[in-house]
Structure 1
């Protein structure tokens, strides 16, 4: 009994030591620290290398320009795609020259230092014939909704119409302009956003002598301050 007691005591004292070497354990985790979700190193890693995409940066820029609904600057493209501005500018100008040489139906146009794909003016008759073919056909639901917003809130910009409807309306507005139901009637403020309103042909098609004869639908549309808030949320 006397021989066993000290050994038991030693074992109990060792296990209860408050200063036992434990603080060294966190050092074993250091190699895995960069993979932690909140690690700055992990957050800064690029999602993809644009030069590894099929066609590289050139095709990537072309793809973006095909889908934007508003002209974008070379700086905006460079920031979003993590490319030098000079490289982006050179690619855009190269694409513009290539489209012209190949006589493509579309081109790149620079408006206020911002770029976007547009149909080439030389093919306007074909585009117009397509849009006007079936002029007497019923408007789509999207066209009717957009036309209603413009009729009751004119003069109004495309951004405000989009805010009310909750969708992009560029294509619909182009169709309504081509059909002669709405027209550009001025610019808004310092930003110069184009304003749209209905035309005499619109009144003619509805059998009205003036906009005062429109049914009282306006009270059901959002107020101007609500529309402004929607626009700000969309930009955010």
Structure 2
């Protein structure tokens, strides 16, 4: 199936952005390899850095999320899927296990102590729920042979995965320490990044469905004219 112009544009922009961000994430993650409680983001979490459970889940999330981003990215290439079905399935399993076994539990704990007050906490916990739900739904769909359902839920799952990218883009572009309340900005950004990503995912899915319907109508018209 050919992609619609809108999907082609989104793909052309999103793929290099995710790759670049993943590389930058690796650089950012390197500051945590020394396990310094004052490194990077931990400077804003001094109330919980002495909590061994929180710190354990923080490092688990930080050191595994880039793999999740890269593994998920490979799952949307039609050429990759066609030529490397076994590898596609293997990488897909890595993506699913990474989310359900590692990151969903870790992010649930981190979400309970999120910055941004009630707004941030509820936003992160909702993201975590949607992440788990969409990923499980994608797995169930493919096991039932529902390929279109599998693709749909994988798109939504990856949309939640990449909220980390959207969150940081918004923060870097718009947050000014002398103009904004950090906690309020953080909490609102959690929701905004989630809404943006899910909206893009919905647009992609709707465009695919519209294109598929047009192709089916075209095929039916051709048959009726024969």
Query: TM exceeds 0.5?
Result: no
Q: TM-score range by the shorter chain?
A: under 0.3
Q: Which has the higher contact order (CA 8 A, sep 6+)?
A: 2
Q: Greater share of strand residues, 1 or 2? A: 1
- Tell me which structure has the larger Cα radius of gyration: 1
Q: Greater share of helix residues, 1 or 2? A: 2
Q: TM-score, normalised by structure 2?
A: 0.22
